[in-house]
Amino acid sequence: MNRFLILIMLLVCFSTPIAGVAETGHIHIRGSSTFYHILQQVAEAYMVENPGVKVLISSGGTTRGIKAVIDGTAEIGAVSAAMSDEYVKLAEEKKLKLITHVVGRGAVVPFVHPSNPVSDLTLEQLRKIFCGQIKNWKAVGGKDEPIFVTANEITRGCFETWRRCVMGKDVIVSSGALVLEPIPLRNFIASTPNAIGYISYLDVNSTVKPLSVNGVAATIETVKDLSFPIRRDYGLIIRDNASKTVLNFINFFLDPSKGQSFISKNGLAPVK
């Protein structure tokens, strides 16, 4: 009788994890629109190599990606910003363990008009400029001219990265800042000599002048070796009991000759 009970208990213990690792043959991915195109390219290559697996991709933003993994409507959440406290709490409430695999990195760079003589600022100088404590270019080695501060929309991944890496928790942006979307912002600064803004380094072109930070210029190499300080991670969030199919896809994404090659092809820094 006792043996029988032990057998039942063993069966109960093992049945849950076994159900978690079963091959499913499909992966639903939801999330970040920022690296949607890279995800699509990697998924396409993955399906060529694994014709039995269907990889479905929907965009909708980082937040929806995280939520979908928590509520079980997708196997992978694609994220380009850190998980907000609200969702960390929700996952805890549901007793879920989520794992983030960083698959690529990008930089957010401060930039100015090409005629501006300033070419490097420290993180501290940037923070003071963007919260309005430094108001004149003269204070950071430039001309005796007022600084025109611009900013990104609060919903943008760039804003979140800038807040986390430069501004800190309690300082937001100088109240007089002009808020624009990335491309209009770049065009505005290209025609405004005293302005400063920040943008994904993928969006920098020859009409503006990117600044180095703490003496380090933003390049794929300085992002990869983590020496450039204003970085954002691109990640895939999964549950700790994700299926073998999902783990295979993650491994494919992290393979230097496979998924990682799409990261570098699209101008981001690979992690492997």
Rounded Cα gap, residues 85 and 38, in angstroms:
27
> Which is closer to other proteins, CB of 63 or CB of 260?
63
Site for other proteins in 74-103 (CB under 8 A): 74, 90
Strand residues in the chain grouped as ranges (E) = 26-31, 54-58, 76-79, 98-112, 120-121, 148-152, 178-180, 195-200, 209-210, 212-213, 231-239, 269-270
Torsion of the alpha carbons at 181, 150, 79 and 42, rounded to the nearest 10: 60
DSSP code at position 139: G
Answer yes or no whether residue 150 interacts with other proteins by CB under 8 A: no
- For residues 104 and 234, the answer to whether their CB atoms sit within 8 Å is yes
Q: Is 155 exposed, middle or buried (0-12, 13-18, 19+ CB in 10 A)?
A: exposed
Answer yes or no whether residue 47 interacts with other proteins by CB under 8 A: yes
Site for other proteins in 105-124 (CB under 8 A): none
Rounded Cα gap, residues 147 and 174, in angstroms:
11
Please state the closest distance from residue 79 (CB atom) to other proteins, in A: 14
Q: Interacting stretch for other proteins, rule CB under 8 A, among 44-52, 169-177, 197-205, 233-241?
A: 44-52
> Which is closer to other proteins, CB of 24 or CB of 212?
24
How many residues does this entry show for the chain? 272
Nearest to 212 by CA among 230, 189, 186: 230
Among 50, 54, 204, 214, binds other proteins (CB under 8 A): 54
Among 50, 58, 192, 219, binds other proteins (CB under 8 A): 58
| Kind and range of the H or E run holding 15 | helix 2-20
Query: The dihedral of CA 24, 30, 32, 34: what is its sign?
Result: positive
Answer yes or no whether residue 63 interacts with other proteins by CB under 8 A: yes
Answer yes or no whether residue 223 interacts with other proteins by CB under 8 A: no
Answer yes or no whether residue 214 interacts with other proteins by CB under 8 A: no
> Which is closer to other proteins, CB of 138 or CB of 244?
244
> Which is closer to other proteins, CB of 60 or CB of 193?
60
> Which is closer to other proteins, CB of 63 or CB of 125?
63
Q: Interacting stretch for other proteins, rule CB under 8 A, among 53-61, 206-214, 215-223, 228-236?
A: 53-61
Instruction: Give me the residues that bind other proteins (CB under 8 A), please.
Output: 25-26, 28, 36, 39-40, 43-44, 47-48, 54-61, 63-64, 67-68, 71-74, 90
